[in-house]
Structure 1
């Protein structure tokens, strides 16, 4: 096994693939020896050369920050001697990268999987789901417990007749103003539209801002066989009435059977959480390979976590399908920076403590690894928070980096499956199957009840092509219902809604 990895010929650092002690010798390319000046944890960076104070540190072939003090060859490179080089809101020029666009266009005309199918549920409106579930959506947080009781009782009553009956608790829908209420309504309405839910029961209280009648307007035209409503304050027994509506929804859901569906109908959400120094080396590139493969077969992928694009945004801008899409990416990036500024926060207050412990030093380092989940495809669209994907290809979605909020937004945007890469691990799962992909083998072995796929094997002798084939087949099996993810088996299906305003 290699003890270190260098990601690009221009790089001034290598990544440690085991923990090193001060004084150990590192054998470099060409047989040169480098003595370590510090203890270096697994996944962290080691300087290959002298780096002057103020000089850029290179990883992935790009700057990941600047040296805050002089760094000698063999030194541990981290927060004590390096910081971000990013600054404020920037101006951008539309300068397509023709080579990158040609590569992306080639990806989007691949045909190796064009005829591939999975076993899915074709809905009345032509949408396709990979689960046949009943979802309970509450208009307001005041009735979370009511909905929880309904879901628990209904799950017992109808076990085996549908793939599951789920409620997604949240605290919002009342005492909200302006954008906050709009965010809540749009997000919940997009969840209502998700085809993994054969039937939807919307439960309201009756006095909230997000009144059922107002929420119906946000939902738009709907099939009354698929979506039912209960207003708790007007019901003599809201639990009994809700169970009666679920009985109708289960009967409706039983009319759907799995049938062969082209993989081009699939949508993948892309997310990382608890990242470490190997995220941009193993799991994120593997997720990017899945995005490219699905897009090549005519499908769609969704990339979010806007603050974790800061520092790598120009790579995405260079792959914009048009000048209009380019300006959409600019607005996405600068709009989120303005959100930070409105709240008096440092734009580059990132990475998290867990990221830093795992070896990520600056936001640009994190971003360069994070954006690899989007593969190399053309960016075909940019959508606002709470909106649904409309275009085939790679869509950028407005949402923060927070795991719960962004996975919820990906689900609402239409993702059937979310690929969630992690170097630290988390049990969390969204409303849709959430595939946890570990960046390293140690995590996969230690947290077998969390991790669905081990990308750390890329450092243990497996090739990217081999793991890509393995993961692709796993995704087809998940989409067909033959395999459940750990979050499904463990019942970890949650949502969180973005908040940016006053609560009354």
Structure 2
């Protein structure tokens, strides 16, 4: 029979239903057996043993809240009988809880070494508009350049966005920095910077944000300076493709690998499948000296102390 429920961590006092469980079904555990007091829907929790009022609910081996009323073994555990341990204001204290991972031989990945010294995992041509007004042109150039995806070119990608004009102060400065970071991203073996000409964040304004604005891997096009901007854009993308033709992957240490992480789908099962897997992967990569970047901050509400206590030192905390 397929597994019908899972206890994620041996310390947990709740389990998660993987299939619809019916009232009266007998649950066998290492510590004994009991019957379910009510139906349990897939992805929902039920108590593995009696839990007292105000006692912590343990899932993943960690406290995810506390019981607001006594809970019997086999009873549904949900928002009607559990409450977060968070308060309105928290005083954070650094209590290191860093997993000890056994030393491992350095892992390597097949990447592209860039002239900047950075390592990329892709070799793509990126079309970066400096302003939203040229998004359609960028996408038209992308579509017309699809035939160039061969040899060393793995993809041609446009990055449309609504910014680059009618912005002020720090907001505009942040946009320019992000665009510059994209232009110099190591996953791009070649970049076409596409400007309109009259925007606030025009090409000449973006160039000072670049470490190497004269790189042969960067082409520039001001649409208002040419008669046919799409044809001119395709010509520049073709030049980039020729320069990338002989690019080869090489072994690069995992310490240089940077992985962006994002929530895939918030449901009752992602917390027992993808999310722990991503966390375990992150531990292993960081142990190799690599980097993971966790986005979507609301996903960590209620667990921020767990992450903070995994910080390497108090200054980082």
Q: Tell me the TM-score normalised to structure 2 length.
A: 0.87
Shift of 1:249: 1.3
Shift of 1:46: 0.7
Q: Please give the per-residue CA displacement for 1:474-495, whole angstroms capped at 9, x wherever unaligned.
A: xxxxxxxxxxxxxxxxxxxxxx
Match of 1:165 among 128, 150, 156: 156
Shift of 1:10: 4.5
Shift of 1:55: 5.1
Q: Which runs of 5+ in 1 are unaligned?
A: 327-504
Q: Please give the per-residue CA displacement for 1:317-357, whole angstroms capped at 9, x wherever unaligned.
A: 2232233211xxxxxxxxxxxxxxxxxxxxxxxxxxxxxxx
Q: Which residue does the alignment assign to 1:17?
A: 18
Change (3 A) 1:249 1:301: same
Is the aligned partner of 1:280 residue 2:281? no
1-side partners of 2:58 and 2:155: how far apart?
Answer: 48
Match of 1:111 among 104, 120, 123: 104
Q: Please give the per-residue CA displacement for 1:139-179, whole angstroms capped at 9, x wherever unaligned.
A: 122211111101111123x2324111111222222233344
Change (3 A) 1:320 1:248: same
CA contact (8 A) 2:122 2:154 kept: yes
Q: Please give the per-residue CA displacement for 1:269-288, whole angstroms capped at 9, x wherever unaligned.
A: 22222133333333333223
Shift of 1:61: 3.2
2-side partners of 1:62 and 1:119: how far apart?
Answer: 37
Q: Which residue does the alignment assign to 1:84?
A: 84
CA contact (8 A) 1:26 1:36 kept: no
Is the aligned partner of 1:2 residue 2:28? no
Q: Which residue does the alignment assign to 2:75?
A: 75
Shift of 1:69: 5.6
2-side partners of 1:68 and 1:140: how far apart?
Answer: 53
SS in 2 for 1:172: coil
Q: Which residue does the alignment assign to 1:193?
A: 184
CA contact (8 A) 1:47 1:72 kept: yes
CA contact (8 A) 2:125 2:155 kept: yes
User: What is the aligned-residue RMSD (CA, Å)?
Assistant: 2.6
SS in 2 for 1:323: coil
1-side partners of 2:253 and 2:196: how far apart?
Answer: 41
Change (3 A) 1:208 1:86: farther
Q: Which residue does the alignment assign to 1:131?
A: 122
1-side partners of 2:35 and 2:252: how far apart?
Answer: 55
1:302-321 equivalent positions in 2, closer than 5 A: 302-321=293-312
1-side partners of 2:277 and 2:164: how far apart?
Answer: 38
Change (3 A) 1:213 1:56: same
Shift of 1:13: 1.6
Instruction: Looking at secondary structure, tell me which structure has more helix per residue.
Output: 1
Is the aligned partner of 1:205 residue 2:196? yes
1-side partners of 2:9 and 2:208: how far apart?
Answer: 52
1-side partners of 2:156 and 2:146: how far apart?
Answer: 6
2-side partners of 1:150 and 1:303: how far apart?
Answer: 32
CA contact (8 A) 1:96 1:320 kept: no
Shift of 1:56: 3.9
Shift of 1:205: 1.7
Q: Please give the per-residue CA displacement for 1:370-408, whole angstroms capped at 9, x wherever unaligned.
A: xxxxxxxxxxxxxxxxxxxxxxxxxxxxxxxxxxxxxxx
Q: Which residue does the alignment assign to 1:31?
A: 32
Change (3 A) 1:251 1:88: farther
Q: Which residue does the alignment assign to 2:138?
A: 147
Shift of 1:21: 1.9
SS in 2 for 1:308: helix
Is the aligned partner of 1:299 residue 2:300? no
SS in 2 for 1:214: helix
1-side partners of 2:88 and 2:202: how far apart?
Answer: 40
Aligned residues: 315
Change (3 A) 1:73 1:293: closer
Larger Cα Rg: Structure 1 or Structure 2?
2
1-side partners of 2:197 and 2:81: how far apart?
Answer: 57
Change (3 A) 1:314 1:247: same
2-side partners of 1:16 and 1:199: how far apart?
Answer: 49
Change (3 A) 1:266 1:20: same
